[in-house]
Copies of this chain bind each other. A is one copy, B any other.
Amino acid sequence: MIVEPNFNVTMNEYLPLRDVVFNTLRQAILRGELKPGERLMEIQLANKLGVSRTPIREAIRKLELEGLVLMIPRKGAEVADITEKSLKDVLEVRRALEELCVKLTCDRITKEEIDELTQAAENFKKTLKSKDITEIAEADVRFHDVIYAATKNQKLIQLLNNLHEQMYRYRIEYLKNEEVYPKLLKEHREIIDRISCGEKEEAAKIVCEHIDNQVTVVMDTIRTKQN
């Protein structure tokens, strides 16, 4: 019998240019490389990224709908202001959805996913020692992704990923402070415990506290940054 080569990884890697541009600009905005108020000029961006105006324009349309850029009619797009207010709004929504998420996860998580979660937590613990903030942040994202996925609710997963990403640069700031690491690890452990026992309300409480902690830190960060 002829054995099929394993193409499934490399084969499906086509991404339209517009999506490459979209992701690039999105990251640049979320990481603060493109600052609020900065204009996004089509030709200039096209030249810089080595593509034509078409993919740029289409990427900007998506950023517009996501609220990351502000369209001014016949003037073009500029990076939307990320104010204290707008972040607070995002966190308020995220808190409610994370609460829903962890409750659903309690009901729907499988044994395999609990293992996955434990592994992700261990991996996070390991990366903490690396002192590489980007790596730590990514391990944290993977931990949360397992919880998100366990809900089996695609819409919820999509929205949480989006809200999570909107706070990227502030989460980074939060993780720069090594003093919070023990607390983080403890929270992760508690969340796993509660989820695996199916104790919804307790798990939700921890998650909410987890987010409320972040609120204060993020708000401090944004206030000092804006001066």
Contacts and interface: CB of A to CB of B under 8 A. Distances in A.
A49 interface: no
Given A89-B154, A96-B97, A159-B159, 12 more contacts: A14-B73, A14-B74, A57-B58, A62-B62, A65-B66, A89-B153, A92-B104, A93-B100, A93-B155, A93-B156, A96-B96, A96-B100
Contacts of A54: 54, 57
Copies in the complex: 2
Interface of A: 14, 16, 18, 54, 57-59, 61-62, 64-67, 73-74, 86, 89-90, 92-93, 96-97, 99-100, 104, 153-156, 158-159
Contact of A65 (B62, B86, B100): B62
A27 B170 CA distance: 36
A153 B65 contact: no
Contacts of A153: 89, 92-93
Contacts of A92: 100, 104, 153, 155-156
A58 B59 CA distance: 9
* Smallest CB-CB A-B distances: 4 pairs: A96-B100, A89-B155, A61-B61, A89-B153
A156 B153 CA distance: 19
A156 B85 CA distance: 12
Nearest to A13: B73
A184 to B, nearest CB: 25
Given A61-B58, A96-B100, A100-B96, A67 B158 contact: yes
Nearest to A88: B153
Contact of A156 (B61, B65, B89): B89
Nearest to A73: B14
Given A96-B100, A97-B97, A61 B154 contact: no
Contacts of A90: 155
19 contacts: A14-B73, A16-B73, A57-B58, A58-B58, A59-B61, A62-B64, A67-B155, A86-B154, A89-B153, A89-B154, A89-B155, A92-B100, A92-B104, A92-B155, A93-B100, A93-B153, A96-B97, A96-B99, A97-B97
